[in-house]
Amino acid sequence: MAKKIDSASDDRTANNAARHQYRKLTDAEKAAMMEIKDRGAGLIGVICALDGEQNVQPDNVRLNDRNLELARQAAEDAVMRAVRFITG
């Protein structure tokens, strides 16, 4: 299993195949990134609960309703893009 690294850690630069270089984030950037991820996880949890799924990992879920699945994917995309803006 691959070593897991906290996304707010400066060590995150060690295990990414897509980006060859990272810059160190400020404490404010780290806090903003964690807030975005926490709020996104909360929204995804609410969306999954609408379909009766409780305490699931978003990457393991396929919701039964197409609109809920699209909402979950859009929430994940929004988090990813906001984090990319912060870390870019």
Mean pLDDT in consecutive groups of 10 residues from the start of the chain, 88 residues:
66 61 88 97 90 62 80 95 93
How many Cβ atoms from other residues are within 10 Å of residue 54's Cβ?
8
Q: Where are the alpha helices (DSSP H) in 1-88?
A: 27-50, 66-87
Cα(50)–Cα(75) distance, integer angstroms:
14
pLDDT at 83: 95
pLDDT at 42: 95
In this structure, what token pair is assigned to residue 41? Answer: 């996880």
Cα(53)–Cα(7) distance, integer angstroms:
26
pLDDT at 84: 93
pLDDT at 12: 63
Candidates 29, 1, 28, 27; CA nearest to 15 is 1
> What are the φ/ψ torsions at residue 79 (nearest 5 degrees)?
-65, -45
Cα(85)–Cα(15) distance, integer angstroms:
20
